[in-house]
Structure 1
């Protein structure tokens, strides 16, 4: 049975005064997630926290009751239901409370079990996989820029410097009907997975991220280095990372940790 190690870190960055990102994990049931909220006042913080806490609570409860050996189709269906419930909860809160008007959040969720990953996401928070030294982006942004790339109007290189990075085409808490991207992926021993908010991907290139992750240091050290580099590059947004190591080397397997930095 493959083992997984988890570590998450979030930082306010150098420009913003509050942190609208949220992350959480449950190492026992192999669940990890990360969200990046948006909205006036502190509504972004509310939306991301509602998404993370709501989805984690329902998903872990189901996994605990039904066991991790359910089919990928069954797990995917439950994950999608959790997204839908969180979406409606955030939408209803934004309608009922004037301070929360217009709030929403991205969300990326992974369910890791043995050699299988069920990956779901909405918005532009991403999941990457480092395998044999190669970094692969596993999610596709739900954004106006990505649609322009898909349509051939922009290259990926041009999109990296184009305006409108924060214009999302999907988010939780915006509409009653939510489209969730769900995929099953094979996991191999030694895989390293990175979930992150755009506060990281806007500040670091894939090459820079690869250089940090291929150090094969402790997860705590790699997460800290990613955040530090983002801040050295300007730290224009909140920065959050969630690292998951599959069957790590001796001394790292089973590491469970959570760190929060103060504004």
Structure 2
């Protein structure tokens, strides 16, 4: 199979600048979304450092004799090691910039990144923070990542919290991000893509505005990955656009389809009409 991807970012309706970044490195089947934070517009510096550092690491380690600045974990595949190491290198660069520059002090960023191994037919996902990865397969959507957030940490430690107690917890506090310390814990997972699967990487400007079902319906009734991104962002803005919105859609197709020639999905007209009707109800 081959991975086709499109990405898009938007400032939203309530922010005056965009602190999100994304990258598609098609030659390495590498895909990244980062959501920055920090004063003096340093959030966009952090997110751009994250995407640039990871892509540069993949390019610099393409040769067999490349030097890796991070310990190689023999329990992980080479693809997992590259993804993990790239994120850790990004963390170090952001942290070092934040302690050198007063304007960048305290900056950080979330990141969700995926790399596809054609040889193993595995999609490896690494993430830090609350940017998410979803998989849409058939009529179902599944969140593949777990938010590193205060509310999730509470629920893991105290799963019997009442609805009232949960409602009192702050929902937008993340407990892990790149650049906060000189080292970072990265969550890694892997998935086996099937023909026709779509994976969505996004910042919380999307996941905080749309339900999983709304994301699934838009993915299923879009013609291609570019339309998926455009419609998902439009829907988030329609519902308030409270944050920057970044979406990266990855679709798996037959290997004989050339990059740049992504075929359109044959979406029945009644499904498109039903989705448009649903959108207008919100």
Give the TM-score normalised by structure 1.
Answer: 0.88
> How many angstroms apart in 1 are the aligned matches of 2:261 and 2:22?
14
Larger CA deviation: 191-200 vs 176-185: 176-185
The Cα offsets for residues 202-245 of structure 1, whole Å up to 9 and x where unpaired, read as 11011111110111411111111100110010000000000100
**Is the CA contact (8 Å cut-off) linking 2:131 and 2:203 kept in structure 1?**
yes
Q: 1:7 to 1:95 in 2, by over 3 A?
A: same
Cα RMSD over matched residues? Answer: 2.5
Q: Which residue of 2 aligns with 1:31?
A: 30
The reply to whether residue 75 of structure 1 matches residue 74 of structure 2 is no
Partner-residue secondary structure (3-state), 1:58? helix
Within the candidate set 194, 210, 213, 2:216 is matched to 210
* Larger-gyration structure (1/2): 2
**Is the CA contact (8 Å cut-off) linking 2:2 and 2:255 kept in structure 1?**
no
Within the candidate set 81, 97, 110, 2:114 is matched to 110
Q: Which residue of 2 aligns with 1:260?
A: none
> How many angstroms apart in 1 are the aligned matches of 2:163 and 2:180?
27
The reply to whether residue 167 of structure 1 matches residue 169 of structure 2 is no
Within the candidate set 125, 135, 139, 1:119 is matched to 125
**Is the CA contact (8 Å cut-off) linking 1:7 and 1:255 kept in structure 2?**
no
Partner-residue secondary structure (3-state), 1:109? strand
Partner-residue secondary structure (3-state), 2:248? strand
**Is the CA contact (8 Å cut-off) linking 1:43 and 1:103 kept in structure 2?**
yes
Residue 198 of structure 1: how far off its partner (Å): 0.2
Q: Which residue of 2 aligns with 1:91?
A: 95
Residue 153 of structure 1: how far off its partner (Å): 4.8
> How many angstroms apart in 2 are the aligned matches of 1:212 and 1:155?
33
Residue 158 of structure 1: how far off its partner (Å): 8.8
Q: Which residue of 2 aligns with 1:47?
A: 46
Q: 1:256 to 1:97 in 2, by over 3 A?
A: farther
Partner-residue secondary structure (3-state), 2:180? coil
Gaps of 5+ in 2: 65-74, 263-282
> How many angstroms apart in 1 are the aligned matches of 2:164 and 2:54?
34
Give the TM-score normalised by structure 2.
Answer: 0.82
